[in-house]
Amino acid sequence: MKFFIATYGCQMNKYDSNVIRDYMGMRDHTESYTIDDADIIFVNGCSVREHAEKRAIGFVNSMKSQIKKNARIYIIGCLATALKEYPKHINGLIGTTHYDRISDIINMNGFVDMRDTEGEGNYTNARIRNNVSLFISIMKGCNNFCSYCIVPYLRGKEISFSPDSIFKQIESSINTKTGEILLLGQNVNSYNYRGKRFPELLIEIANIFKNYRIRFLTSHPKDFNELLIRIIADKENIMNSVHLPFQSGSDKILKMMHRGYLQTDYLKKINMLKQIIKDVAITTDVMTGFPFETEHDFNETMKVILEVRFDDAFMYKFSKRNYSLAGFMNDADENIKLRRLKHLIKIQNSIKIEKMATLKGKTVKVLIERKSKKSENDCIGRDEGDRMIVIKGLFDIGTVIKAEVIEIKGNTPIAIKKEE
């Protein structure tokens, strides 16, 4: 049978879609890249914000006229578990812990409802066939229960996978295009497999796979520590870029969010990062309009933005979520949330542009990802700070090229290969 997958949401959902590709491929199902000739359609949706849910549901509702008469549609992933009501023309809802049985599930008669979060959810037997950047999940679930977040209710309790199974999955998934390994977990710093913690695992992976770039997502500020910073600084192939979501700069809001740190704790860790790792690129997640956020609280967020000068930020307005504690609180005024978000985006984007401008004249090491869509004589890659760079000329996908940034066009650095 032919299957089609539409993927929404974070890297974890992208990893899961690759897991499904492998389990479907094992039973000789082939992937279709167009929806009209697919027999099975998976919509792997995200539920972290209302907007993400609406996009995926909109897609499910829009596909009716384009698909084969007997095509079966399954909403899967976080979205499946979150939904209380769903489009009536779908054939089932499959949560994140049953993908190893996916090819049996699609043969079940009647409506399928498999949304419990208790399953193992360890898919390290699957071979992942990503291009260039290999996404590998080292753990499932989340035990943090930040008060705004639905993820712990959708992905269940935290389980760390065995180092051996992680190494095996990386080995069996690496191909000639692989240049980078991205280790995934909702909070990688709380990885704990029979006493083995994340720093130890990270060193082992960096040593075994020393010819590959190593990155990891996401770190939680409460558990991010000096040991990890020193490992990033010492290991050549661990990239000097850290994603450290701060969410809010206000101590009152941080307490209400159950984040486990205050503004000064966060800033101390950022200062340590900047001191120990030369040229570290720091990115973050931040939101506006959490319930009871005042202008003063928002100004505290802006203070952190101005002081840290993040290389990039994912910026959101608070979205009320089912199950989560903040979902029961009085929501702030939409216009206020939006006004604050717009201001935040404006200031952060100008910081990003200023920081990008400082790259001009610098030498960067670019991992080539693909040909440019705009110019067939150029390639697109990423530097060590995970910034997208256009590099003049054609190079093999998956190789690392030393290049000099000659100009910044819009927001994108343009570089030329540096002769050795």
Binding residues (CB under 6 A) for ligand F3S: these are 9-10, 12-13, 46-48, 78, 151, 154-155
CB 120 within 8 A of CB 160: no
Site string for ligand SAM, 34-73 (x = CB under 6 A): --------------xx------------------------
Of the residues 220, 269, 340, 382, which one makes contact with ligand SF4 according to CB under 6 A: 220
Site for ligand SAM in 164-203 (CB under 6 A): 186-187
- Which of 204, 251, 285, 331 touches ligand SAM (CB under 6 A)? 285
The 3-state secondary structure of 206-265 reads HHHCCCCEEEEECCCCCCCCHHHHHHHHHCCCECCEEECCCECCCHHHHHHHCCCCCHHH
CA–CA separation, 17 and 116 (whole Å): 18
In the region spanning residues 114 to 153, those forming contacts with ligand SF4, defined by CB under 6 A, are 142, 144-146, 149, 151-152
Total count of residues recorded for the chain: 420
User: Considering only 92-100, 147-155, 173-181, 203-211, which stretch makes contact with ligand SAM by CB under 6 A?
Assistant: 147-155
Nearer to ligand SF4, 222 or 343 (CB): 222
Q: Which residue, 178 or 283, has its beta carbon nearer to ligand F3S?
A: 283
Angle of helix 263-276 relative to helix 295-308, nearest 10 degrees, comes to 10
CA distance 229 to 226: 5
Cβ nearer to ligand F3S, comparing 257 with 356? 257
By CB under 6 A, which span of 26-34, 67-75, 164-172, 317-325 interacts with ligand SAM? 317-325
The CB density around residue 396, as the number of other CB atoms within 10 Å, is 11
| Distant-in-sequence, close-in-space partners of 194: CB < 8 Å, separation ≥ 6 | none
Q: Which option in ligand SF4, ligand SAM, ligand F3S, none does residue 154 bind, with CB closer than 5 to 8 A by kind?
A: ligand F3S
Binding-site partner at residue 152 among ligand F3S, ligand SF4, ligand SAM, none, CB < 5 to 8 Å by type: ligand SF4
Of 78 and 239, which CB lies nearer to ligand SF4 in the complex structure?
78
Q: In sequence order, what are the residues at sequence separation of 6 or more whose Cβ sits closer than 8 angstroms to the Cβ of residue 154?
A: 47, 78, 81, 82, 95, 96, 117
Report, in Å, the least distance between residue 329 CB and ligand F3S. 20
> What is the four-CA torsion angle of 123, 243, 257, 318, rounded to 10 degrees?
-90
Provide the minimum distance between the beta carbon of 254 and ligand SAM in the complex, in angstroms, as a whole number. Answer: 13
Q: Which of 304, 216, 311, 296 is nearest to 259 (CA)?
A: 304
User: H-type helices in 156-225, by residue range?
Assistant: 163-173, 198-208
To the nearest whole angstrom, how small is the minimum distance from the Cβ of residue 236 to ligand F3S?
A: 31
Helix runs in 277-416, H state only: 295-308, 334-357
Measured distance between the N- and C-terminal CA atoms of the chain, rounded to whole angstroms: 50
For 60-71, give the DSSP string: HHH-GGGS-TT-
- Which partner in ligand SF4, ligand SAM, ligand F3S, none is near 310 (CB below 5 to 8 A by kind)? none
Identify the residue among 122, 247, 301, 348 touching ligand SAM (CB under 6 A).
Answer: 247
Site for ligand SF4 in 176-195 (CB under 6 A): 186-187
CB of 136 to ligand SF4, least distance (A): 18
145 binds, among ligand SAM, ligand SF4, ligand F3S, none (CB under 5 to 8 A by kind): ligand SF4
Q: ∠ CA 416-417-420 to the nearest 5 degrees? A: 145
| CB-nearer residue toward ligand SAM: 50 or 164 | 50
The tokens describing 190, both together, are 């709380």
What proportions of the chain, in percent to the nearest 5, are helix, strand and coil? 35, 25, 40
Q: Does 148 bind ligand SAM (CB under 6 A)?
A: yes
* Residue 152: CB minimum distance to ligand SF4, A: 5
Please choose, from the candidates 127, 21, 30, 78, the residue with its C-alpha nearest in 3D space to the C-alpha of residue 323: 78
**Whose Cβ is closer to ligand F3S: residue 8's or residue 290's?**
8
Site residues, ligand SAM (CB under 6 A):
10, 48-49, 148-149, 151, 186-187, 218, 220, 245, 247, 285, 287, 316, 318-319, 321
Site residues, ligand SF4 (CB under 6 A):
142, 144-146, 149, 151-152, 186-187, 220
